[in-house]
Structure 1
Amino acid sequence: MHLTQIQTNDYHRDGYLVVKGLFSPEEIDKLYKSAVENSIMQKNAMDLNDQSGKKTKLTLWFTPGDDVFGYLIRSERMVNAVWQLLGEDSPVCHFHTKLMQKEPKVGGAWEWHQDYGYWYKNQFMFPDQLMSVMVALTEANKENGCLQVIRGSHKMGRVNHGFAGEQVGADMEMVNHSLKTMDLIYCELEPGDALFFHSNLLHRSEANLSDHPRWSLISCYNSQSNIAYSEMSNSWKVPVSIVPDRALMEWEAESFEDADFLKKEDDPALKTTGWESTVNTK
């Protein structure tokens, strides 16, 4: 996998890049089946309420293992593309991955936010050296709550964040200003498409009110040189051990028993310490 200069330029200008068909239908079928049927992944899922009380369910873990998800995270095509877009000589590290599960009719909205609005609290130094990659496991469209982004909003820098329901959301005054200034884009994806986006890009998603699920993996990466002074996990500073692209289809067994899943009560973004002044103004 090698991105073109045009793709790289688009990412830096817009704050995001869609790569169509990064993973094949056969690979996505394997990933989605594992995501739906794996009891350990489901056991470790967290529910986060949006402002209306609808639930967004996610499972989050830090270290990519020798399993179907780990092979996607560590695949040559993923890591090489991330390395190109980060534009650093430093090795690529994996911060964490989320399995996002929005079920029909009940899947909640995700409020406007920047990922760095969360990760600033982990004291990562350089937002330009942080990014996320969303891989669609099912179709994502306007009807089932696909990701919306504000094109070019990563150039605003970090905006203040406070709580919206159980989620940390961006200052809506700044969001509204950005919507008057920049384009709102609905990132509709087919299974296997990948959306690469900057840590300061403003994004959100609507509740899934359709009859179809919207499931995706979102893997977050950083350059090893981007130190996180207040992050207790270790994956962010360990270079990704890259596997060949073929490894995903060759995988036959899995073990998630020792995976370092995040528990809701341990999520620093949901602890009010340090956020009180922002929360009290909402």
Structure 2
Amino acid sequence: MARVLSDKEVHSYQQEGFIIIKNFFSKEEIDKLYKVATGDQVMKENAVDLNDQTGKKTRLTLWFKPGDDIYSLLVRSKRMVKSVEKLLDSPSPVCHFHSKLMQKEPKVGGAWEWHQDYGYWYKNQFLYPEQLTSVMIALTEANKANGCLQIIRGSHKMGRVNHGFTGEQVGADMVMVDHALATLEHMYVELQPGDALFFHPNLLHRSEANTSDKPRWSLISCYNSLSNPAYNDDSLGWREPISMVDDDALMKAAAVGASSQSDFLKKEKDPALKETGWEKEVVTK
């Protein structure tokens, strides 16, 4: 039986903006994937760096259409797709918008500023934030020392706040963030390898730089309903129902990394990183 979110967990997500599921993937599954990821030359060659306000680099490799590599078998697994299906506000099929391998290295991995994912995806012109969601799978331990994710519980109910640029990143209006911090609970999301964080696209979140001597790696997959068009996005995944695989596919498959033919993100083509004019009016510091 696939481990699918319960109705109680779905309700918690709707109220809090997130849900943490311990041991969503086994140690054996994560060990296999992480070993491939750390030696994956294609992933390294297609990584992009986004500078934070201090100039530290946050490194990620992002791709749109899932294939048959080991990462995609996790993304397409029944437990992921069926759980996401329960969270999205639509009866339409689940699609894959993108996944990204987050590589926050010891001592040098930069911060992510306060933001909502829909602060980015609004520029892709997705119509319905409730038909998008993200799932973070911890590949290494995530804690305060190595810059784990921080969230503001319940902030998804604020709706989308304005976003501007902070370094090369997109950051939320700090006037509204400060109001949220004064009103709602600020949490550190400390995870063990294999733990999953499902979170709403309007949940405010950030992370500190990694000042520890331990890496913090994670895989974040973003899903969309077929009924939710993006009018300013040329990628293909979000408009195609995902091809689900059995939960044991990852362990049965060969340890195959990314293909050089995958449709990786190029910074110059990302709508979210392009200036539109109104960003200058947003306070991000």
TM-score bracket for the superposition, by shorter chain length? over 0.9
Superposed displacement of residue 229, structure 1: 1.2
Give SS of 1:159's match: coil
**Aligned counterpart, 1:244:** 246
Deviation per residue, 1:224-248 (Å, 9 max, x gap): 1011111111110101100001100
C-alpha separation in 1, matches of 2:218 and 2:251: 18
8 Å contact from structure 2 (residues 104, 210) kept in 1: yes
Give SS of 2:245's match: coil
- Structure 2 length-normalised TM: 0.96
Superposed displacement of residue 280, structure 1: 5.2
Superposed displacement of residue 31, structure 1: 0.9
How many residue pairs were aligned?
Answer: 280
Of 92, 111, 114, which aligns to 1:112? 114
Of 143, 146, 170, which aligns to 1:144? 146
C-alpha separation in 2, matches of 1:148 and 1:23: 22
C-alpha separation in 2, matches of 1:212 and 1:76: 31
C-alpha separation in 1, matches of 2:143 and 2:235: 34
Superposed displacement of residue 2, structure 1: 2.5
**Aligned counterpart, 2:57:** 55
Give SS of 2:122's match: helix
Give SS of 1:226's match: coil
Of 242, 253, 266, which aligns to 2:269? 266
> RMSD of aligned C-alpha atoms?
1.0
* Off by >4 Å, runs of 4+ in structure 1: none
8 Å contact from structure 2 (residues 173, 282) kept in 1: no
Q: Which runs of 5+ in 2 are unaligned?
A: none
C-alpha separation in 2, matches of 1:58 and 1:111: 15
Of 16, 19, 28, which aligns to 1:17? 19
C-alpha separation in 2, matches of 1:280 and 1:8: 36
**Aligned counterpart, 2:84:** 82
Superposed displacement of residue 34, structure 1: 1.1
Deviation per residue, 1:212-267 (Å, 9 max, x gap): 00000000001110111111111101011000011001111445121000112222
- Structure 1 length-normalised TM: 0.97
Superposed counterparts of 1:88-107, under 5 Å: 88-107=90-109
Superposed displacement of residue 268, structure 1: 1.7
Q: Which amino acid aligns with 2:117?
A: D
8 Å contact from structure 1 (residues 66, 254) kept in 2: no
C-alpha separation in 1, matches of 2:165 and 2:244: 37
Q: Which amino acid aligns with 2:125?
A: Q
Q: Which amino acid aligns with 2:8?
A: I
Q: Which amino acid aligns with 2:116?
A: Q
Q: Which runs of 5+ in 1 are unaligned?
A: none
**Aligned counterpart, 1:196:** 198
C-alpha separation in 1, matches of 2:106 and 2:186: 24
Q: Percent of pairs identical after alignment?
A: 65
Deviation per residue, 1:52-78 (Å, 9 max, x gap): 111100000001110100100000000
